[in-house]
Amino acid sequence: MKTFQQFQEEAQTITEIKKRLIGTALLATPFLMKKIKDKFDPVGNKRKEFQQKKKEKYEKQSGTQGQGYFD
């Protein structure tokens, strides 16, 4: 049978573990959301491809690289 003090210490330990897990989850959320967006954003990915093609075409026509609207 546990004593009251042992019960309190166990409850405090569980609470501390929960706090750490919640803190870690909150810190990791932005990173995970960015990864999900990068992987499952078909419209954004198509736009990036289209803009990249436009950039390459423009650079080819103008003879410039790395300077201008598309950078």
Instruction: Give the pLDDT score at 39.
Output: 82
Q: pLDDT tens digits, residue range 1-30?
A: 778 888 888 889 999 999 999 988 888 888
d(CA 44, CA 36): 12
Instruction: Give the pLDDT score at 16.
Output: 92
Give the number of C-alpha atoms closer than 13 A to the C-alpha of residue 16, restricted to the C-beta side: 6
d(CA 30, CA 71): 25
Instruction: Give the pLDDT score at 71.
Output: 60
57 and 70 Cβ atoms separated by less than 8 Å: no
Q: pLDDT tens digits, residue range 25-69?
A: 888 888 888 888 888 888 888 999 999 999 889 888 887 777 666
Domain range list for the chain: 1-40, 42-71
54 and 70 Cβ atoms separated by less than 8 Å: yes
pTM score > 0.95 for this model? no
Here the tokens at position 36 are 């999900």
38 and 48 Cβ atoms separated by less than 8 Å: no
